[in-house]
Amino acid sequence: MDSPPTVPFASWGWKTQQEADGALEQLLARFGDRMVRIAEDTLGEELDARIARIQMHPNEAGVDPFGFDPTVARYALAVAAFLHRFYFRSQVFGAENIPSGRALVIANHSGQIPMDGLLIGASLMLDAEPPRFARSMVERWSAELPFVSVLFPRCGQVVGSPDNARRLLENDETLVVFPEGARGISKTFDKRYQLERFGLGFMRLALETQTPIVPVGVVGGEEQLVSVANLESVGRVFGMPSFPVIPQLFMGMPFPLPTRYRIHFGEPLRFQGDPDDDDTVVQQKVDAVMDAIRGLLAQGLARRRAIFW
Amino acid sequence: MERDASDPPPAKGRRASARRKSRATVPPPPPAPTPSSASEPPASRRPKARARPAAARVEDVESRDGAVLITGICGRLGRLLTRVLHRTDQVVGIDRREFHGRPKDVIHHQIDLRRKKTRDVFRQGGIRAVVHLGIMHDLRASSKAHHAWNVVAFQKLLDALIQYDVPKLVVLSSANVYGPSPDNPQFLTEESPLLGSQHFSAIRDLVEVDMLAQSFFWRHPDTETVVLRPCHILGGVQNAPSNYLRLERPLTLMGFDPMVQAIHERDVVRAIGLALEPGVRGIFNLKGPGEVPMSRVFRILGKRPQAVPRTLMKPVLERLWRLRMTSFPTPELDHIRYVCMVDDTRAREVLGFTPRYGLEDTIRAVETEA
């Protein structure tokens, strides 16, 4: 087996395949390398080259302080690229709207599982120029799950807290936020492409750090896993934020349908004001973002001829 | 001990009774304060900004009036601090233990901090600063002993500080008072709540010491109070993180590899030296050179940790702890599971502290002989 091409950030002190100790780790590293190679060959993407171009902010020890590890993230990017290009065949519009420097990417949330986050991340890496590595905020309980608690930080996911978000934005990073949260992702099919209530935290953060907001309308997510009901009381029993009833799971399709995603990046919005203003004042600004996303969604839905192609 | 007797006569040989280890007996409350033999009020402290004590110039010895009192001087950090400080300052130590290898110019009182004798040390005057390192952290000891030793003794020390107008207090707390938790932001600032005892009730008294120091900071602005909260101190010290890294085959939790911070013991000593500078006050988080995943720490040490699922680790460790076969109690598993990292911006900007030791040196410091 030929040695892998130059692994980006190999000098960072993270493990490369040769150094990986333990048979299991070596196996995983080899498998991951193979995966990256296959993804590059079949999709015609230069994944490693794009990862090498992203802006990093290492600490004194040469490590990302939030635990991001490009040598692990490239495996995740290979998977995301496969889903983005091959499975969901996403179309990306307006990727040139991403401003340089810090940015808050605000999108509608849909589809029971957070595929939209993954695909927005993939389009920022693969379609935006220069490639932007997007951080997203994950649920706190992910830090309690074995393996997930390692994988998420290594791929640049950060436990959601205003402190972390502020710190990342001050480092001029790009942050993907779904202000609808669980309310949005667990919508039933009759509410598709309607926005749930937005939290206000992201706007206060944007005002405080003077961050431009990029509204994003994601079309195609609502049809991947059609939910006909949300049994919240059952979900509460299992400690889950929602309990969607998804007929296709019982019809032998325990995976999201290959709908075609259309990701519309809007013009960046810049807001001025006091981050500690009253909720009503901040709400007005949030409404402006919601209107922008509604516009992008309407535009995307009008342009869409078919759900699956 | 004979060294004690040959000391310059501050405590006038009344130390014999003090040698009796008074473990659990809390002495009666101190009598009404004798109208402090205020022969030399410690106001002679000159508030001038001068170079750090490590500069170790001979002129400094005269210019720094007053002694630095170090409680718990016989611990690893106390001895390291003494070795640095005694060149420029008069150092007075209080500890129940004997001070082996004590520098000749250091006065050591082998007494329990809670005893009345402690006040005698203050009454002689000339103490310009107190560095409180005398904190017991022995999880096998009863919580009563912990409370008596850590909280009660610290309160008595604070009383003495007020009574004798000591202008400076440095308390070495720890970043562990914040506690590891999945809810933690990646970096905890000094304002973060102290939730360390939330899932680890055995360190209640350590959190309480930190809180006492904080309230003292606000109630007595005449004393410059500094609380240092370093992340995991590595070196010849006997603390959980150093002991853990010294294990032949450390166990880790399968599927967890949190980011960790560490600081070299000598960097902590240097930070204490900076905190002793006149004019410095407040709470400071301290961290060493950057944060790294725990797996990288093991790689630097050349160790191959054994990953064990938590569902297995927890009951087994609990059993082992009860059988006294391990020195790691179960709640400390959270430290190898969740993040508990600090933001040291304030220490860098106000205290002027930046770690001297690099990552490799800091981590390899656990291999040094105590």
Say yes or no for a CB contact (<8 Å) between B182 and A140: yes
B139-to-B145, B147, B321 alpha-carbon distances in Å: 10, 12, 10
- Residue A14: what pLDDT? 52
Name the band, by pLDDT with cuts 50, 70 and 90, for residue A284. Answer: very high
How many separate domains does chain A show? Answer: 1
Say yes or no for a CB contact (<8 Å) between A159 and B185: yes
Question: What are the chain B neighbours of A13 within 8 Å (beta carbons)?
Answer: 296
Question: What are the chain A neighbours of B256 within 8 Å (beta carbons)?
Answer: 146, 149-150
Name the band, by pLDDT with cuts 50, 70 and 90, for residue B45. Answer: very low
Say yes or no for a CB contact (<8 Å) between B253 and A146: yes
**Across A89-97, average pLDDT:** 92
The answer as to whether A117 is a domain residue is yes
> Would you say A144 and B182 are in contact if contact means Cβ atoms under 8 Å apart?
yes
Give the least confident one: B6-20, B54-68, B81-95. Answer: B6-20
A296 or A55, greater pLDDT: A296
**Across B50-68, average pLDDT:** 52
Q: Is the pLDDT of residue B358 over 50?
A: yes
- Residue B42: what pLDDT? 40
Give the three-class secondary structure for B69: strand
Q: Is the pLDDT of residue A207 over 50?
A: yes
- Residue A21: what pLDDT? 58
Pairing mode of beta strands A174-177, A103-107:
parallel
Domain residue limits at A104 = 15-303
**Across A258-267, average pLDDT:** 94
The answer as to whether A8 is a domain residue is no
Q: Is the pLDDT of residue A3 over 60?
A: no
Say yes or no for a CB contact (<8 Å) between A150 and B255: yes
Name the band, by pLDDT with cuts 50, 70 and 90, for residue A176. Answer: very high
- Copy the structure tokens of residue B368: 């040094």
The answer as to whether A37 is a domain residue is yes
Biggest CA–CA distance in chain B, Å, is 64
Which residue of B lies nearest to A141 if distances are taken between CA atoms? B182
Name the band, by pLDDT with cuts 50, 70 and 90, for residue A36. Answer: confident
Q: What is the mean pLDDT of chain A?
A: 86
B interface test, pick of A26, A63, A72, A147 with most B CB neighbours within 10 Å: A63
Question: What are the chain B neighbours of A69 within 8 Å (beta carbons)?
Answer: 293
Q: Is the pLDDT of residue A2 over 50?
A: no
CA distance A7 to A11: 9
Pairing mode of beta strands B90-94, B67-71:
parallel
The answer as to whether A9 is a domain residue is no
* Residue A20 forms contact with B (CB below 8 Å): no
Q: What is the mean pLDDT of chain B?
A: 83
CA distance B55 to A150: 44
> Would you say B131 and B75 are in contact if contact means Cβ atoms under 8 Å apart?
no
Biggest CA–CA distance in chain A, Å, is 62
- How far apart, in Å, do the first and last CA atoms of chain A sit? 39
For residue A64, give the CATH number of its domain. 3.40.1130
B30 or A78, greater pLDDT: A78
- Residue A129: what pLDDT? 85
A178 or B18, greater pLDDT: A178
Name the band, by pLDDT with cuts 50, 70 and 90, for residue B53. Answer: very low
* Residue B205 forms contact with A (CB below 8 Å): no
- Copy the structure tokens of residue A241: 């934020």
- Residue B261: what pLDDT? 94
Question: What are the chain B neighbours of A158 within 8 Å (beta carbons)?
Answer: 186
Question: What are the chain B neighbours of A68 within 8 Å (beta carbons)?
Answer: none
Question: What are the chain B neighbours of A170 within 8 Å (beta carbons)?
Answer: none
Residue A161's contacts (CB-CB under 8 Å, 6 or more residues apart) are A137, A140, B183, B185
Q: Complex ipTM, two decimals? A: 0.82
Determine whether domain B2-23+41-234+263-290+341-358 maps to CATH 3.40.50.720. Answer: yes
A interface test, pick of B186, B296, B312, B353 with most A CB neighbours within 10 Å: B186
CA distance B269 to A298: 63
Give the least confident one: B29-38, B67-76, B240-249, B357-366. Answer: B29-38
Question: Which residues partner with B68 through β-bridges?
Answer: B91, B129
**Domain segments of chain B as ranges:** 2-23+41-234+263-290+341-358
The answer as to whether A309 is a domain residue is no
* Residue A44 forms contact with B (CB below 8 Å): no
| Identity of the residue in B254, B289, B338 whose CB atom sits nearest the CB atom of A143 | B338
The answer as to whether A168 is a domain residue is yes
The answer as to whether A2 is a domain residue is no
